[in-house]
Structure 1
Amino acid sequence: MVEALTISLLANAAYDLLKAKVSLSIENFKNILKDTVKADVLEGNEFALAVENIKKLELKGLDKTAIEQQFNNSHIFQNNTIFGDAVAGDKIVNHYGSEKKS
């Protein structure tokens, strides 16, 4: 069954890549997700931005639940799209680097 790109699918793929000790490259994500996500989604800009944001989260050493929690806490996804916020250490920052107020 083909699914839309979701936080859960990205978190699972990131965890699998980290566990296999391979790079978090766009191609590696595509290889893992090609059977579950529509091809046009994997070629889109939002997918490429998602992978870049995953790399920036420095997820090494986190388990899958922690990865998903990082995504949820960072607010980088809204309706499966990315909008400028990211996790910097234990703080959520916007794309200008200033800390967000909760």
Structure 2
Amino acid sequence: MKIVHTPDTAALAAGQARPAAAEARPTAAGSPTAGASTSSESATVKLSSTAAGLMASTPEFDAEKVAAIRQAIADGTFKPNAEAIADKLIANAQELLQRR
């Protein structure tokens, strides 16, 4: 999964603060969210060096490959490789466990 680096996420990756929302966002019931501020406040967010490194090292995605897969899904011709998916999931889980 790719996280798109918008100016907000780029600022967070650099450890800069991002202003908080100026208005309360309504919930599904239409009422303001609990604890939401309606004044113009700002919040400071500090990322650990590990988090900043992870955001900075996120590889770019291949837009052409995504478009081809999207088209194959739309056409009904996409055939996922269950073995490859399982192998990647196991490898990712092993990597996460080794970091601890």
TM-score range, shorter chain: under 0.3
TM-score (norm 1): 0.25
Greater gyration radius: 2
**Greater strand percent: which structure?**
1
What's the TM-score once normalised by structure 2's chain length? 0.25
